[in-house]
């Protein structure tokens, strides 16, 4: 353990030492790093693919699933995508230096509150090597030093990518250690890093629930966390059934593995008989398994759609696949109550033509995104125009919902006087 503690402390201190130069770098210099990295990635494609092959061979031997092997794979197309990603981040506005607010006080004291980098960011993720580049770009663009800790299966690929990031930093006259790929592929290293709250300002876990839970469990550092996405779509009595069907289908089937996919459909009792037969048939036609409450089951039975009985557990479950739980509710209040008690405060939508219902839903549902007549799948940094997405935060502090580059900054107060005293 002590070996990892030393290793972790060393990484953290190197990052901390590099942080002031990153914080002081202007936008042009930071963009130069990202553009140089994009070029290096393209020029080094062969070398990267060769390094990746070593990871892939070991992973195949270790019996990784085809899906995980696919995520681990680097090829020409994915390398080009990483380079394009770096160029896109370079094109974004600099989140550092924005004047957030300011005032001249009655005594003449001048105040301004400006965005500054957090300092050192630790990114913990799984076996997609492209996250290494993405995470480095976002951290550096926001003026932070970063420690990149990917899954052990991707270690050789990540080390190679880390070298390119360091070369790009050096070429722009910034410290090579402003981005470091955490060396040893051991889990204890992560635990040791997570204890270093005096050196690391923020941890961003990017990956499945288990990864996030493990980081939360061990971290003394604040965590920008994404826990669960149990998203609901509630179809109100006044909804347009055709519009509701299109939105529900999109929210469930567009990409069921994502956190903003709808997991539970709630339908107002008055519309259920009209709306559900058609909607359930369309869902079933798209390969969706329906977990139905008794009222839905009855309607589905009459409509000839096969369903499974929902259990209490279903209302608490993030399926992340083509499964949808469906419940008929007597009114808007019940829908809001259901969402606030079973949901994960991520993203919930109402489909309605009633202004009152829309307003009450948006006011009373306590979720990071509350939508009217739109697919929950739209809860996304790019869709919200944030440029880049660090992640979707299910925490309420610092950042909530889709988080852009600003999520990797804090602020400081600049105060200017002419000999001002506290009287």
Q: Does 109 bind a second copy (CB under 8 A)?
A: yes
Query: Which residues, 6+ apart, have CB-to-CB distance to 423 below 8 Å?
Result: none
- Is residue 278 within 8 A of residue 305, CB to CB? The reply is no
Scanning 66-74, 154-162, 170-178, 381-389 for contacts with a second copy by CB under 8 A, the matching segment is: 381-389
Q: Does 355 bind a second copy (CB under 8 A)?
A: no
Position among 29, 289, 318, 411 found at the interface with a second copy (CB under 8 A): 411
Position among 65, 66, 67, 422 found at the interface with a second copy (CB under 8 A): 422
- Is residue 218 within 8 A of residue 233, CB to CB? The reply is no
Scanning 37-45, 187-195, 307-315, 399-407 for contacts with a second copy by CB under 8 A, the matching segment is: 399-407
Q: How far is CA 142 from CA 145, 146, 167, 309, in A?
A: 9, 11, 19, 49
> Which residues, listed in sequence order, are joined to residue 264 by a DSSP beta bridge?
232, 325
Provide the pairing of β-strand 262-268 with 231-235.
parallel
Position among 58, 81, 111, 237 found at the interface with a second copy (CB under 8 A): 111
Position among 25, 89, 116, 137 found at the interface with a second copy (CB under 8 A): 116
Scanning 105-113, 160-168, 270-278, 294-302 for contacts with a second copy by CB under 8 A, the matching segment is: 105-113
Q: Does 398 bind a second copy (CB under 8 A)?
A: yes
Report d(CA 292, CA 286) in Å as an integer: 17
H helix or E strand, kind and range, residue 252: helix 241-253
Task: Write down the residue that tokens 């606030």 correspond to.
Answer: 340
φ, ψ dihedrals at 349, nearest 5°: -130, 150
Report d(CA 271, CA 351) in Å as an integer: 12
Q: Does 318 bind a second copy (CB under 8 A)?
A: no
286 vs 414, which CB is nearer to a second copy?
414
Output Rg (C-alpha) for the chain, integer angstroms: 24
Query: Which residues, 6+ apart, have CB-to-CB distance to 242 below 8 Å?
Result: none
10 Å Cβ neighbour count for 42? 15
Scanning 58-66, 182-190, 242-250, 312-320 for contacts with a second copy by CB under 8 A, the matching segment is: 242-250
10 Å Cβ neighbour count for 256? 20
75 vs 353, which CB is nearer to a second copy?
353
Scanning 35-43, 66-74, 136-144, 397-405 for contacts with a second copy by CB under 8 A, the matching segment is: 397-405
Q: Does 211 bind a second copy (CB under 8 A)?
A: no
Q: Does 368 bind a second copy (CB under 8 A)?
A: yes
Position among 201, 297, 314, 389 found at the interface with a second copy (CB under 8 A): 201
Scanning 35-43, 81-89, 204-212, 244-252 for contacts with a second copy by CB under 8 A, the matching segment is: 244-252
Please name which of 248, 250, 236, 323 lies closest in space to residue 288, comparing C-alpha atoms.
Answer: 323
Q: Contact residues for a second copy (CB under 8 A)?
A: 20, 23-24, 103, 105, 109, 111, 116, 118-119, 201-202, 222, 240, 243, 246-247, 250, 254-255, 340, 358, 362-364, 366-375, 377-380, 383-385, 395-398, 400-402, 410-422
């Amino acid at each position: 353990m002590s070996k990892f503690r030393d290793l972790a402390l060393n990484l953290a201190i190197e990052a901390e030492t590099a942080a002031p130069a990153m914080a002081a770098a202007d936008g042009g210099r930071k963009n130069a790093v990202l553009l140089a990295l994009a070029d290096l990635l393209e020029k080094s494609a062969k070398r990267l693919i060769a390094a990746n092959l070593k990871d892939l061979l070991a992973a195949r031997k270790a019996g990784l699933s085809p899906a995980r092997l696919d995520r681990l794979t680097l090829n020409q197309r994915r390398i080009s995508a990483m380079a394009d990603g770096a160029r896109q981040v370079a094109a974004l506005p600099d989140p550092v230096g924005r004047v957030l607010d300011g005032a001249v006080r009655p005594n003449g004291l001048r105040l301004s509150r400006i965005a500054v980098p957090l300092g050192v960011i630790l990114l913990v993720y799984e076996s997609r090597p492209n996250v290494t580049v993405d995470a480095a770009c976002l951290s550096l663009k926001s003026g932070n030093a970063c420690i990149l800790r990917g899954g052990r299966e991707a270690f050789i690929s990540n080390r190679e990518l880390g070298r390119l990031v360091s070369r790009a930093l050096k070429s722009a006259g910034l410290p090579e250690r402003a981005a470091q790929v955490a060396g040893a592929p051991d889990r204890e290293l992560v635990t040791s890093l997570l204890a270093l709250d005096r050196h690391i300002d923020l941890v961003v876990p990017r990956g499945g629930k288990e990864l996030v839970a493990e980081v939360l469990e061990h971290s003394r550092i604040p965590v920008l966390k994404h826990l669960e996405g149990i998203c609901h779509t509630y179809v109100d009595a006044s909804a347009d059934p055709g519009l509701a069907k299109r939105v529900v289908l999109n929210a469930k089937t567009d990409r069921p593995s994502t956190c903003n996919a709808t997991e539970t459909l709630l339908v107002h009792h008055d519309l259920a008989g009209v709306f559900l037969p058609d909607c359930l048939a369309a869902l079933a036609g798209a390969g969706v398994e329906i977990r139905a409450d008794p009222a839905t089951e009855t309607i589905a039975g009459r409509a000839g759609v096969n369903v499974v009985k929902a259990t209490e557990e279903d209302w608490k479950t993030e399926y992340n696949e083509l499964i949808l739980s469906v419940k008929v509710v007597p009114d808007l209040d019940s829908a809001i109550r259901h969402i606030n008690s079973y949901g994960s405060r991520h993203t919930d939508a109402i489909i309605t033509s009633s202004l009152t219902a829309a307003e009450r839903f948006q006011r009373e549902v306590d979720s990071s995104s509350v939508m009217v007549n739109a697919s929950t799948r739209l809860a996304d940094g790019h869709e919200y125009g944030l440029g880049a997405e660090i992640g979707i935060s299910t925490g309420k502090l610092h950042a909530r919902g889709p988080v852009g580059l600003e999520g990797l900054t804090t602020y400081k107060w600049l105060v200017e006087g002419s000999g001002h005293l506290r009287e």
